[in-house]
Structure 1
């Protein structure tokens, strides 16, 4: 399988480089498909007088407050800057040669500083060669082409955060090569093909080199043509599709000799493990209505890893599956009503150590300038069922403001 993926990647690369189709940008809105940040405007753009250099600057901020009620714990309030990010992108020398940088500064993004670990300020640092409107080649650190909700910017979500299944089963940023072939057409059947070869270790990792790697492949189908305003890159039908639009997509990911319990994420394993992930997702939008559904799965032949110095100490790969269902309607007043239901079922091998979960969420969002400036409110309830038959119910109420350029 490894050889087939490598040969496919090389063939796609050679085919694209052989083409000589002229392509140029007309403005500073680069719309990099590999990085589907939500864009309402064009940010702050600077272009050199000789037009051989372009820099576009954006920022966004999420401020959040909430009330949490967890069984066996005291009720608590939270207040935090959930996300604070800067993004820079542009081209150097020629619009075919692009770059994108995204930095994060909020504590929840950076994480706790631990001895011997890197500070996670860098989220994206990637270079592109885009010879024409169909092909893109990327080298550096950025998101892998995984599940639709995960790939989309956290600033383009309808609720205040992604689902529990995205938190547990999805793949994340990684360092490596990516190739995209984009063939979206407005009123007819279209498709996109995306692939990646990466380290499998996640972002900002400088540990000793090893022989692990990750392979990712994704296909996206548009049976009714492309969405208006790149509508797959944001949740909710804020473009108010005049005709029904449908996305059907699937991703397969194999992480060979992964170091962490969730591949690019999670805690360090005592021993490396190979894991495979499957994602299937769908999106339907029409006249203010939006329906999203997804399935996520992670498997590993031997999920347990034991401490070589203590056989009673172990950890494990988080394996299992989950479903998400999300429905919304955007009123003419730009208030949106959202509901989401998620189920998460862990594999029987690790059932004794972590619960199955059902999550119910309802929310109301007010859009001022689409996703670039919005106010969000959400109520979420988690039902947790444990191996011994016991259960717990946790819930929270959350208020969040998103603003950016």
Structure 2
């Protein structure tokens, strides 16, 4: 049945593409790729062919950071790294209705450790779009799923230097498959978006070791007072200083059937497959420099989250189940200095409470926007507390300085 659904989805996509004729269009390709948000104050460097049948925009961004890390029972130390180095190409071929986007990553933290027999993991996004009009986006390829707000936002559009501990554990991130987005956004009246995806459930750049299930993701976004200015849903903080209150409420659900990794699309391998269900709820408010965000994220499994190596009962691997809440508040002064505070609370599921700690995270930060999110200087102080099942408690903290720049 699952294979039949996937086949019908594929056939539908082929028919839709076949019925559209490619026509010359000389309009500017100022596109909203809802499946691949990428904050840009400008439009990068653009190249358009003389007959306007081809367009390519080139963009890059860099995150350089240095951190002082002090973890309990470990020697304190400094860490300096290129956190992100991204290169993106997007545009259209034949007509602005047929689009593409490619994003590559080169920083060690993005690529990951190179292991024998595994892929070099530089491809983050490689996706083609069909956009028949401003209300519909259809895509095929690898890109972000319509998941939690903080993950859907580009890492270049964050207020603090990184995402929360709950995003790290419960996000659904990138996958390969089909997506359909229906967008109905209006500046000063009730707006809404519907988004869905049918994907492999295995994460990005996976070859071999395929599982027998697929992942189904659905999402609804509501804007009671109208859409945010300049697609403000896709970046944190009120850098545009909304003149009227803006609010968004969204909910997403995913069922990842027969997943083989500890976090569905992410994590290490499990010894047995597990079907995972994720619930992701977000709220965002912005007005006159103030911004507030709140998120709920959870993951559960159809069976016990712990899997055991059939060849060695002493080896276990577990799906990370549980739930978490994030709360974030900020104010951006007219001088474009912004003060941010965030609190995260994470509770692991009963299946794994003896194997993983509950956690709380407290963060404060100051950001100076030089050229909005495209060029900014950030500082952050974060304190973590880990509470273990046996009653032990561990405190960790870090102080970080980061510069982001891109086009």
Fold-level similarity (TM above 0.5): yes
SS where residue 150 of structure 1 aligns? Answer: helix
Instruction: Output aligned runs, 1:288-307, within 5 Å.
Output: 288-302=289-303, 303-307=305-309
Partner of 2:105: 104
Question: 1:163-213 deviations in whole A, cap 9, x for unaligned?
Answer: 000000110110000000000011111100000000000000001444221
- For the pair 1:365 / 2:357, whether they are aligned, the reply is no
Instruction: Output aligned runs, 1:269-280, within 5 Å.
Output: 269-280=270-281
Partner of 2:353: 351
Instruction: Output aligned runs, 1:55-204, within 5 Å.
Output: 55-204=56-205
Question: 1:342-385 deviations in whole A, cap 9, x for unaligned?
Answer: 00000111000110001000000000000000000000000110
Partner of 2:335: 333
Partner of 1:267: 268
Alignment RMSD: 2.2
Partner of 1:50: 51
SS where residue 320 of structure 2 aligns? Answer: coil
Partner of 2:402: 400
| Consecutive aligned runs of 4 or more in structure 1 exceeding 2 Å deviation | 1-20, 22-31
Q: In the alignment, is the contact (CA less than 8 A) between 1:189 and 1:225 conserved in 2?
A: yes
SS where residue 113 of structure 1 aligns? Answer: coil
- Counterparts in 2 of 1:50 and 1:15: CA distance versus 1, 3 Å: closer
Greater CA drift, 367-376 or 205-214? 205-214
What is the CA–CA distance in structure 2 between the aligned matches of 1:8 and 1:187, rounded to whole Å?
38
What is the CA–CA distance in structure 2 between the aligned matches of 1:309 and 1:229, rounded to whole Å?
55
Question: 1:130-149 deviations in whole A, cap 9, x for unaligned?
Answer: 00000111000000000011
Identify unmatched segments of 5+ residues in structure 2: none
Q: In the alignment, is the contact (CA less than 8 A) between 1:5 and 1:215 conserved in 2?
A: no
What is the CA–CA distance in structure 1 between the aligned matches of 2:165 and 2:195, rounded to whole Å?
25
> 1:29 Cα deviation (Å)?
3.2
> 1:31 Cα deviation (Å)?
2.4
SS where residue 109 of structure 2 aligns? Answer: helix
- Counterparts in 2 of 1:156 and 1:223: CA distance versus 1, 3 Å: same
- Residue correspondences, number: 404
Partner of 1:380: 382
Q: In the alignment, is the contact (CA less than 8 A) between 2:29 and 2:96 conserved in 1?
A: no
Q: In the alignment, is the contact (CA less than 8 A) between 2:211 and 2:259 conserved in 1?
A: no
> 1:312 Cα deviation (Å)?
2.0
SS where residue 155 of structure 1 aligns? Answer: helix
> 1:389 Cα deviation (Å)?
0.8
What is the CA–CA distance in structure 2 between the aligned matches of 1:225 and 1:74, rounded to whole Å?
51
- Counterparts in 2 of 1:38 and 1:24: CA distance versus 1, 3 Å: farther
SS where residue 205 of structure 2 aligns? Answer: coil
> 1:400 Cα deviation (Å)?
0.2
SS where residue 149 of structure 1 aligns? Answer: helix
Q: In the alignment, is the contact (CA less than 8 A) between 2:25 and 2:53 conserved in 1?
A: no
> 1:306 Cα deviation (Å)?
1.1
Partner of 1:218: 219
What is the CA–CA distance in structure 2 between the aligned matches of 1:294 and 1:66, rounded to whole Å?
26
- Counterparts in 2 of 1:65 and 1:245: CA distance versus 1, 3 Å: same
Q: In the alignment, is the contact (CA less than 8 A) between 1:23 and 1:131 conserved in 2?
A: no
> 1:281 Cα deviation (Å)?
0.4
What is the CA–CA distance in structure 2 between the aligned matches of 1:290 and 1:8, rounded to whole Å?
43
TM-score of the two chains, using structure 1 as the length reference: 0.95
Greater CA drift, 48-57 or 31-40? 31-40
Q: In the alignment, is the contact (CA less than 8 A) between 2:202 and 2:211 conserved in 1?
A: no
Identify unmatched segments of 5+ residues in structure 1: none
Question: 1:252-301 deviations in whole A, cap 9, x for unaligned?
Answer: 00100111000010011111111000000000000000000000000013
- Counterparts in 2 of 1:8 and 1:117: CA distance versus 1, 3 Å: closer
